[in-house]
Amino acid sequence: MVVGLLDLLNEKTIRLDAEAADWPESVRLAGTLLVDIGAVSPSYVDAMVRVVEELGPYMVVAPGIALAHARPEDGVKRMCMSLVSLASPVEFGSEANDPVDLVFAFGAVDKNAHIEVLKDLATFLQHKEAVVVLRCCKSASEVARLIEKYSEYKEGQA
């Protein structure tokens, strides 16, 4: 079964206009959404923070966008993704892409299971207008409609 963005991002895994004092808190907010749905253990959230501390801000993948993750063995129970939009951006230490106001977190059960959903996310994020609208969304249902719109766009262009 192929899992898409709309299978993972929903009312329980999206938090909009959140407050975070710094990047570790932003990662923890996104990770806690995954803990709350039973998809990862709390140790996975700690591991996501540790990865940035050890390897630097490589997970800041585009201007204002971070994709927090750790290794499957750090506590992933099932494939998952969350999104936190921040009321005030935070610095991760990425010269090219700070400050960050959109924090996605994901967990994969192995090194291959998540490839399709990450392709979907990358395709969605390539649409600059979609990212602009995403930053203005006020509800998880608005986010879902936006993803659906750009997923249809992608399929129509194939």
- Which entry of 52, 69, 106, 121 is annotated as an active-site residue? 69
pLDDT in tens, 39-92: 999 999 999 999 999 999 999 999 999 999 999 999 999 999 999 999 999 999
The alpha carbon of 15 is separated from its chain's Cα centroid by a whole number of angstroms, namely 11
> CA torsion 70→41→115→28, rounded to 10°?
-60
Joined together, the tokens standing for residue 118 give: 């990450």
Domain limits, the chain: 5-157
% of the chain residues with pLDDT over 70 = 94
Tell me if residue 127 is catalytic. Answer: no
Contact 47, 82 (CB under 8 A): no
CATH hierarchy code of domain 5-157: 3.40.930.10
- Quickly tell me which residue has 């400050």 as its tokens: 99
Strands laid side by side in the 65-68 sheet? 14-18, 80-90, 100-107, 65-68, 60-62
The reported pLDDT for the residue numbered 103 is 98
- Mean pLDDT value across residues 26-43: 98
| Helices (H), ranges, 92-139 | 115-126, 128-134
The reported pLDDT for the residue numbered 48 is 97
Bridge partners (DSSP) of residue 106 are 81
